[in-house]
Amino acid sequence: MRASVFGKVLALTAALGATVPAAPTVLADDHDGGWHHCRDLHGRDRWRCEEARRDRWRERQEKQDKKDMKAGLAAGAIGLALGAIIIGAAQEAERKREAEAYRRNDRDARCLARYRSYDPRSGTFIGRDGRRYECR
């Protein structure tokens, strides 16, 4: 009984081993940029390999720097647009306040000239009947 279970496990292991492909060695060596490969070389070949590795690293770094620069420019453009919108809205509100103050001052001058009982704080005057009326 024991030998048959061992035989079945061995057969199953052999079957699975035959169907599952082995990982390529290129992937195992490539995760570090081929550094182990360079270490196995000597002289000028090693120097060239290490130089190529540094060049690849430099290219990746420059590519990342360009991405970072583009992201920074995009963020700056968005910030500039939002700032312009906020400032424009604030200026529009200020213009409206100034126009209202100008109209109010104009109204105050007109109402003061027309009614002696005009009160600029409330914008009203006292009529002949003793009641307060808004000056328009």
pTM of the model: 0.39
DSSP annotation string for 75-117: HHHHHHHHHHHHHHHHHHHHHHHHHHHHHHHHHHHHHHHH-TT
Structure tokens at 21: 């492909």
Q: 25-48: per-residue pLDDT in tens?
A: 444 445 555 556 788 888 898 889
d(CA 131, CA 126): 6
| Predicted confidence (pLDDT) at residue 132 exceeds the cutoff of 80 | yes
